[in-house]
Structure 1
Amino acid sequence: MKDDISILNFNFKVPNQNDGNNHWNYRKEKVIEYVNSIQPTIIGTQEGVQSVLEIFHKGIGEHKYGSFGVARDAKSFFSTKPNEHNQIFYDKSKLEFITGDTFWLAEDISKPPKTPGFCGKHNRIVTWAKFQFLKSKKILFVFNTHLDNKDIDDLLCETRAKAMDLLIAQMKIITQQEDDASAAATSIIVMGDFNSKRDAYPYQTLIEKNGFSDAWTTAETREGDVAYSFHDWLGVKNPFENEDGLEPGCKQIDFITYYPKSIQVQKTAVVTEKWTSHGEDRYLSDHFPILSYMSI
């Protein structure tokens, strides 16, 4: 039995007083409207602060979606600081939450470090969850991360390299702790904002050395005629898109990856949804969300 699911990878963009008309307060209704129109099975978020996450969760339906994940600077969802989370939302009508946790991309993975791990600019985390499909009883692990933005153009950036190595090591430990020998085959999703492209270490080590596949490159159908997933509010008119020889998706930093290769990906889209406000195009975020439909 195959389980058909949809996965949305969404960097919310942490609210900032300099956002102007792109501030969350002016986007929230459109974000919620879009997500409700597609009703993803799983939503992996980055840069969601508590106030944003609470509004978003209420808008998409707390009765329909469960959520999981803690703040990167405090091991409590109800932190007094506007901390960023890597929340995972899941459709409770399709998935049962079994267990999960958040670990820090640092020397001590169990708590927020006093200084960012691996000499990064910010504390970084991985939120993971173990689910069981209600129909097939198959097991699905989801890992959602946001790697550091230090030295963006360095393909071998030590901060991101050590973080991805740690993520992979912990993922192997977590997914091998399956204590039910009769459980159906396990599938794994690793998603998030890697702050680096496909030619950099994080992507290369996950895909080339650890057997994961990229839902964009393997999809039967791809949608979204843009090279970049980060556009800094410039949208499809991002001037970098004018560079010669760019193919759709070739400059993405936001990814949905999966294991094993037997998973079938019907469609992956770079979501360029927009509307007009104050005479300008507005977008869901400063990153284009990534949406993938697959059969597990």
Structure 2
Amino acid sequence: MKKILPLVFMAMLSVSVSYGQRQLTVATYNLRNDNATNDDSVRGNGWKQRLPIITQLIRFHDWDIFGTQEGLVHQLNGLKQAMPQYNYTGIGRDDGKTEGEFSAIFYKKDKFKLLKHGDFWMAPVTDKPNKGWDAALPRICSWGYFQEIKTGFKFYYFNLHMDHIGVVARRESAKLVLKKVKEMGGNSPTILSGDFNVDQTSDSYAVINNSGVLRDSYELSPIKYATNGTFNDFDANDKTTGRIDHIFVTKDFKVKRYGILTDTYRAKAKGSDKYEAKEPSDHFPVMIMVDHK
């Protein structure tokens, strides 16, 4: 009996370690672009003020891999410098290099190997910067094919930012992304994240969620922490029910937890010694915890 007990303990430990290795923390976060034409800095919401808070939020929640939207190249490099454990893939939507907003994917360098990556514009012409259908702006989707180093598990990750004006563009973009997922990944495990600029009641959302390929992680999760919608407009008192930032997954992932992280921080109000609640971005990040096979 004394010899059997250590063997049982080692077997249980092996199962526990294996289980832990199969768990991933995934997120999507619209960072709010940093540019000279908005009044974010005047209102105390400038990128310099927000960057340290965002990096603390990401590191505390220990995201393994996450999609970002609206980040300009200096913002992404700022995140990378502050968090050297991460790397990212993606290109600027304006020139296919460094100009314009990215839909970048950040990942832990010691956890994943990036096997392949690419980008396409959400438009009838997918391989060069352009606006599609009735879109107001060029819109890009970046993707990576990753391998988890410890387990060998391989999966695709697509990340996007859909147009805020074009109804047709959003619907056609949803169809295009599904087509790309099927063409590139086939039956491979896949995650799709992004700012879709529509909530869970829209037809373009339904194109993806009812596709039989990808499902909204919110619907799949048995544990939900979602006391607000995902767009806050830098208003700590705003209340919404619409989720416009989504993470969709294939059946290869078992969603364990879903959360809209409504974190705030305190900063001095302009022209006052009093403090007020501030948001790190005008969107709340969405985070999920999943197990994979």
Aligning the two structures, in what range does the TM-score lie when normalised by the shorter sequence? 0.7 to 0.9
Structure 2 residue runs without a partner (length 5+): 1-17, 269-274
Secondary structure (helix, strand or coil) at the match of 2:220 reads coil
Larger radius of gyration: 2
Task: Tell me what 2:168 maps to.
Answer: 158
- The CA distance in 2 between the partners of 1:73 and 1:212, in whole Å, is 29
Matches within 5 A, 1:136-285: 136-150=151-165, 157-176=167-186, 186-226=188-228, 228-235=229-236, 237-238=237-238, 240-241=239-240, 250-260=241-251, 262-278=252-268, 279-285=275-281
Aligned length: 263
Task: Tell me what 1:108 maps to.
Answer: 125
Structure 1 residue runs without a partner (length 5+): 152-156, 177-184, 242-249
Letter in 1 for 2:29: F
Task: Tell me what 1:245 maps to.
Answer: none
Task: Tell me what 2:59 maps to.
Answer: 36
Letter in 2 for 1:206: I
Task: Tell me what 2:138 maps to.
Answer: 123
Aligned-pair CA distance for 1:8? 1.5
Aligned-pair CA distance for 1:135? 2.1
- Give a deviation string over 1:72-103, Cα, whole Å, max 9, x none: 011113x4xxx100010111222111001010
Task: Tell me what 1:244 maps to.
Answer: none
TM-score by length of 1: 0.85
Shift >6 Å, 4+ stretches:
none
* Alpha-carbon RMSD: 1.5
Task: Tell me what 2:291 maps to.
Answer: 295
- The CA distance in 1 between the partners of 2:46 and 2:136, in whole Å, is 23
Letter in 2 for 1:109: T
Task: Tell me what 1:180 maps to.
Answer: none
- The CA distance in 1 between the partners of 2:174 and 2:216, in whole Å, is 16
- The CA distance in 2 between the partners of 1:284 and 1:270, in whole Å, is 13
Secondary structure (helix, strand or coil) at the match of 1:284 reads coil
Contact 2:265 2:280 in 1 (8 A): no
Contact 1:145 1:192 in 2 (8 A): yes
Letter in 1 for 2:59: N
Matches within 5 A, 1:49-60: 49-60=72-83
Aligned-pair CA distance for 1:202? 2.0
Task: Tell me what 1:182 maps to.
Answer: none
Secondary structure (helix, strand or coil) at the match of 1:255 reads strand
- Give a deviation string over 1:175-207, Cα, whole Å, max 9, x none: 13xxxxxxxx83100110000011112210111
1:76 correspondence with 2:91: no
- The CA distance in 2 between the partners of 1:36 and 1:59, in whole Å, is 10
Task: Tell me what 2:26 maps to.
Answer: 7
1:45 correspondence with 2:68: yes
1:23 correspondence with 2:23: no
Secondary structure (helix, strand or coil) at the match of 1:84 reads coil
1:90 correspondence with 2:100: no
- The CA distance in 2 between the partners of 1:34 and 1:206, in whole Å, is 29
